[in-house]
Chains A and B, each alone.
Chain A
Amino acid sequence: AQTVTQSQPEMSVQEAETVTLSCTYDTSESDYYLFWYKQPPSRQMILVIRQEAYKQQNATENRFSVNFQKAAKSFSLKISDSQLGDAAMYFCAAGGTGTASKLTFGTGTRLQVTL
């Protein structure tokens, strides 16, 4: 079983600036994955980045990177050089490798990008 907590319902960032979205989790799984999904107004769920818990190196995807602190059970998402197209709901999710691909999602953070 796992829980995922996103404590920031809304965040705002200026275009070209950097913003960090927070996520904490709890899990009884010994091996697990962590994800950030983006949901724009179109409602589509888009995978932003994925972290395998056994890997110590933080995952990066272009302007998106994570700060994975396993002992603290923290998994924050950093968006660099923010763009207007980054405006969306962002969901943090966790899933155990032995749990039939079941994902537990947080409640989401709505990111606004201003000029």
Chain B
Amino acid sequence: NAGVTQTPKFQVLKTGQSMTLQCAQDMNHEYMSWYRQDPGMGLRLIHYSVGAGITDQGEVPNGYNVSRSTTEDFPLRLLSAAPSQTSVYFCASSRREGLISPLHFGNGTRLTVT
């Protein structure tokens, strides 16, 4: 049972480049989300999805796009990378919406934008 898998583990981008951070879960979880972790700021919610075809914005959505075409996958797209997007990104999932189901986190992607 792989849980929540994030790829890549590390990535370096130049300003203006685009890329997609991948997130996949094999637990048939309805709910998936993306957080970013910056030094001294804890984790902040970027986007989330309560099921296939449904996405919504979190606290810091600007500069990111998401889609949820399948239950398993929830990719995060950076359209035009900026140095302010240098961060560690975490994908998390839970069986269903609502915190009665605990969140399972992936191991994170460290992104550096130069």
- Please tell me if the beta carbons of A100 and B50 are within 8 angstroms of each other in the complex: yes
A residues contacting the other copy or chain, number (CB 8 A): 24
Say yes or no: is B107 at the interface (Cβ < 8 Å to chain A).
Answer: yes
Assuming the A-B contacts A97-B99, A100-B97, A101-B98, are A91 and B48 also in contact, with contact meaning beta carbons closer than 8 angstroms in the complex? Answer: no
Report the contact-size class of chain B (Cβ under 8 Å from the partner): 20 to 34
- Please tell me if the beta carbons of A43 and B97 are within 8 angstroms of each other in the complex: no
- Please tell me if the beta carbons of A100 and B103 are within 8 angstroms of each other in the complex: no
29 CB < 8 A contacts A-B? A4-B42, A32-B99, A43-B88, A43-B107, A43-B108, A44-B105, A44-B108, A45-B43, A45-B105, A47-B103, A91-B42, A93-B42, A93-B43, A97-B99, A97-B100, A100-B48, A100-B97, A101-B94, A101-B99, A101-B101, A101-B103, A103-B35, A103-B45, A103-B99, A103-B103, A105-B44, A106-B42, A107-B40, A107-B41
